[in-house]
Amino acid sequence: MIRTRKLLAGASLVAFAAFTGTAAQAAGTASGTTITNTATVNYQVGGVAQTAVNASTSFTVDRKISLTVSDASASTTTVAPGQTAAVTAFTVTNTSNSVLDLGLSVAQQAGGAAPHGGTDNFDVTAPALFVDTNGNGVYDAGTDTAVTFLDEVAADASKTVFVVANVPAGRVNGDIAAVTLTAQARDGGSAGVQGAVSTETAGANTAGVDTVFADTAGATDANRDGQFSAKDDYTVAAAALTVTKISKVISDPFNGAANPKLIPGAVVEYCIQVANAAGGTAATSVAITDVVPAQTTYSAAFGIFLNGTVTAGSCNADGVAGGSYVAPTVSGTIASIAAGATRTLYFRATIN
């Protein structure tokens, strides 16, 4: 009798899977579901049909705990030195067949290979976790909620979790900070209250709802431990500026522009070259100031020129008039200097 029931139950399960396979979710049948299978035997006595005999068996579906965490963007987060509220995003999914609370924690990598290439060599500061409250996939300060766990996550449901941190000033181009987000299965407590850490059922199957860990190993956690972890990183894109100041004599009162000498009355052109190293990012709002030497007089007739270029170390006369002079200081702002580019500010003065 026992063997017959197992065969019937197996056939019923195969038929059910074939019928519902295209619509089934990854989590499978919800834990706590009672599955009943009934066998019917019809027979006759002396050619007369008798009352059918039935036999049923039931069991309760146990809880399979599985979860995943993944880097939501699959790429590094580019940040600037001194940036605050730098954001990287993860997707946390409950692939269990039961509602779970998911405890969250963030850790910083201590050196070694970063997940998107390069080597981890610094830590961000004050990392905090936020859940994507409005579901738009973008961190919205003041809208998204700070969390330490995800509350009552339904089977097959996903949540976006943001790690929001600050980048120390002084970091240079190419520096990398890797972070790890770990989610841990917790029994669903009451709404708004984090449940206790889920535990796997030891020993033989019981009549109640047992728990089986079915998660795989994540970035830093083990196989079947009721947790899952994933890594992401921040990569610094910085501007590296160098400044060179050169001067050249333009003319003097006796020789004019033909072989002029640096004598009183001579006109001198000062050129400030600002170079942004290749491989970084653009420097913006580059403000330049230069105090005109007391032994010279600023040439208001010539003016100030900005955003000029350089060829073989020499300044070209291709800037745009701008800037200002408030004695004794010349100043001007260049809107942007791209990585690998050099731009200039130049003006003229007469030797007293």
Q: CA-CA distance, 339 to 332, in Å (whole number)?
A: 20
Strand-pair category, 176-187 with 63-65: unpaired
Q: Decide if 123 contacts 177 (C-beta within 8 A).
A: yes
How far is Cα 140 from Cα 130, in angstroms, rounded to an integer? 10
Query: Do 111 and 120 meet the contact criterion of CB atoms below 8 Å apart?
Result: yes
If you compute the radius of gyration of the chain from its CA atoms, what whole number of angstroms results?
A: 36
For 285, list phi and psi in degrees, rounded to 5.
50, 55
Confirm if 236 and 191 have CB atoms less than 8 A apart: no
Pairwise CA distance, residues 157 & 27, whole Å: 10
Cα dihedral 202, 205, 206, 208 in deg (nearest 10): 90
For the full predicted model, state whether its pTM sits above 0.75.
yes
Instruction: Give me the pLDDT at residue 191, please.
Output: 87
Q: Provide the β-strand partners of residue 276.
A: 241
Cα gap 142→130, rounded to integer Å: 10
SS3 of residue 334 by DSSP: strand
Question: Which is it for strands 342-351 and 267-276: parallel, antiparallel or unpaired?
Answer: antiparallel
Cis amide prior to 328 (ω within 30 degrees): yes
Q: 348 to each of 252, 308, 329, how far by Cα in Å?
A: 13, 15, 13
Report the C-alpha gap between 44 and 25 in whole angstroms.
Answer: 44
Digitized pLDDT (tens) for each residue of the chain, 352 residues in all: 333 333 223 333 333 333 333 334 567 899 999 999 999 999 999 999 999 999 999 999 999 999 999 999 889 999 999 999 999 999 999 999 999 999 999 999 999 999 999 999 999 999 999 999 999 999 999 999 999 999 999 999 999 999 999 999 999 999 999 999 999 999 976 888 999 999 999 999 998 999 999 999 999 999 999 999 999 999 999 999 999 999 999 999 999 999 999 999 999 999 999 999 998 999 999 999 999 999 999 999 999 999 999 999 999 999 999 999 999 999 999 999 999 999 999 999 999 9
How far apart CA 42 and CA 52 sit, in angstroms, is 5
Asked whether the beta carbons of 78 and 233 are under 8 A apart, the reply is no
Tell me which amino acid residue 98 is.
S
**Two structure tokens written together for 289:** 């100031």
What is the rounded end-to-end Cα distance, in angstroms, of the chain? 117
- Burial track 24-44 (b if 16+ CB lie within 10 A, e otherwise): eeebbbebeeeeebebeeeee
Residue corresponding to tokens 């029931």 = 5
pLDDT at 26: 64
Helix (H/G/I), strand (E/B), else coil: 297 = strand
| Distance separating alpha carbons of residues 262 and 351, to the nearest angstrom | 8
pLDDT score recorded for residue 25 = 58
CA distance 116 to 234: 9
For CA atoms 131, 134, 140, 146, the dihedral sign is negative
> What local confidence, expressed as pLDDT, does residue 175 receive?
97
Q: What is the β-pairing status of strands 145-146 and 227-236?
A: unpaired
